[in-house]
Structure 1
């Protein structure tokens, strides 16, 4: 191969666009997210109730805020944790609180339900390491 061809190939590879890399926002190792209310095993009459969400060793910020050690709540209802390397889904099983809410009034039909919190970063992605609560079970009657 001629020297000019090798240099041209090298230059082209150096100037090629870099692949998109999605880096997770880091979190402190002692961060903890938890459900304040309702407690595990609660029986709720009527279906409408307040969920109160807590966070230790980090702060709450609305979506889009790019600061260290902050995030916003996502409430997972009747579902397992989503993939930790992708944006948290936004549907009836994954409620986003991107305005920085720490409590929300929700309504669920009668029956047993599971609730779990997952903290998301400015882009609704889980932190690294991910910060999620234990899953609790409630009954609506």
Structure 2
């Protein structure tokens, strides 16, 4: 009986057609991701308000699969983009906005920082072609300086 159950599960997984979770998500030809604020080279005070922009794609929360849609991820002080074929990591340098947020306020240490936006699909995997902003530099000052 155990062999039958195992074979049945394999049949379901590999033979019957189903919607693959890892199917590639496509971006539109004219899609663009950008920062509304802050601007490249700007000096800002803590807390830092960051406003995200996107055109040509629809913003939806993580977990909702729809063509030409996704949500923002903020990359902080990364020398290079993460692997664009894998889900974006979640840590202090890869901040997910899986509820569909288009802005945030964050605390950064005083000094120079780089920011970049990366748009990804319902399971946090970047689209094809990938949608990412120009990397910007900001200088953070403490508000009492």
Say if 1:61 and 1:72, in contact at 8 Å, map to a contact too: yes
Tell me whether 1:34 sits opposite 2:2 in the alignment: no
Structure 2 match to 1:62: 61
Structure 1 match to 2:95: 95
Report which of the two structures shows the higher radius of gyration computed on alpha carbons: 1
Instruction: Compute the RMSD of aligned alpha carbons.
Output: 1.8
Structure 2 match to 1:74: 73
State the Cα deviation string for residues 26-49 of structure 1 (Å, max 9, x = none): 11111001010000001012x212
State the Cα deviation string for residues 83-109 of structure 1 (Å, max 9, x = none): 110000100000000000001111100
Aligned residue pair count: 126
Gaps of 5+ in 1: 1-14
Tell me whether 1:131 sits opposite 2:131 in the alignment: yes
Gaps of 5+ in 2: 1-10, 15-19
Give how far 1:24 is off.
2.1
SS of residue paired to 1:128 = strand
Q: Residue 66 and residue 21 in structure 1: after superposition, are their counterparts in 2 closer, same or farther (change >3 A)?
A: closer
Distance in structure 1 (CA, Å) of the matches to 2:36 and 2:120: 18
Distance in structure 1 (CA, Å) of the matches to 2:41 and 2:27: 30
Q: Residue 68 and residue 21 in structure 1: after superposition, are their counterparts in 2 closer, same or farther (change >3 A)?
A: closer
Say if 1:28 and 1:57, in contact at 8 Å, map to a contact too: yes
